């Protein structure tokens, strides 16, 4: 079992998509900027998310990604699973044969744990996350920061005027 940045990035990116839904496709460059994730790495993750049919892509200018299902119908467990980070805690992947073909002493414990984690993560939908106060706060901060950077790069306003400009 493992849960590293790969799975965390995937969930974060999907949540970013959910938060900015209804404004047309979101480009990976935007997500990269807002969430601080390398663009090329995001591309790899989204290739997997697309293969798992969790997102739809639109090519060309103004293109990007959209959730392929309703937010309430996508849960955290399947996002993590899509990028090959299994939520499985057993060493035998459930088959009960990790000790030279036979069941090891702790197999059932790991099965129970896997079930526990899976039940928890699959009970949480993207909509649940979008509606959380703490998520909304962070999202607000990120959007402000993002707009700031856009203005900075266009580059005609002094830092003190930034907030007024928005």
Partner DNA sequence: TTATTAGCCGACTATTTTAGTAGGTTAAAT
Partner DNA sequence: ATTTAACCTACTAAAATAGTCGGCTAATAA
Q: Which of 108, 87, 83 is nearest to 98 (CA)?
A: 108
Applying CB under 8 A, does 67 fall inside the site for a copy of itself?
Answer: no
Beta-carbon contacts of residue 98 (< 8 Å; ≥ 6 apart): 90, 91, 92, 104, 107
The footprint of DNA on residues 81-100 (CB under 7 A) is 84-85
Residue 71 · residue 130 · CB < 8 Å:
yes
Pick from 11, 17, 67, 82: which binds a copy of itself (CB under 8 A)?
11
- Report which DSSP code applies to 125: B
The footprint of a copy of itself on residues 94-153 (CB under 8 A) is 99-100, 102-110, 112-113, 116-117, 120-121, 124, 129, 132, 134-135, 138-139, 141-142
The packing angle between helices 133-154 and 5-19, to 10°, is 80
- Smallest gap from Cβ 116 to a copy of itself, in A, equals 5
The Cα 26–Cα 41 span in angstroms is: 16
User: Which spans of this chain sit near a copy of itself (rule: CB under 8 A)?
Assistant: 1-5, 8, 11-12, 15-16, 35-36, 76, 89, 91, 99-100, 102-110, 112-113, 116-117, 120-121, 124, 129, 132, 134-135, 138-139, 141-142
């Amino acid at each position: 079992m493992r849960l590293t940045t790969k799975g965390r990035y995937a969930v974060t990116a999907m949540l970013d998509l959910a938060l900015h839904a209804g404004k047309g496709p979101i480009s990976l460059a935007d997500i990269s900027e807002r969430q601080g994730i390398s663009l090329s790495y995001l591309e790899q993750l989204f290739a997997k998310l697309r293969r798992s049919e969790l997102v739809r892509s639109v090519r060309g200018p103004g293109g990007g990604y959209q959730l392929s299902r309703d937010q309430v119908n996508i849960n955290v467990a399947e996002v993590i699973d899509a990028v090959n980070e299994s939520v499985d805690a057993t060493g035998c992947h459930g088959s009960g044969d990790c000790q030279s073909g036979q069941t090891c002493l702790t197999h059932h414990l790991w099965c129970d744990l896997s079930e526990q984690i899976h039940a928890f993560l699959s009970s949480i939908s993207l909509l649940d996350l979008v509606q959380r106060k703490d998520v909304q706060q962070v999202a607000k901060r990120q959007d402000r920061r993002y707009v700031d950077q856009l203005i900075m790069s266009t580059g005609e306003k002094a830092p003190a005027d930034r907030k007024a400009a928005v």
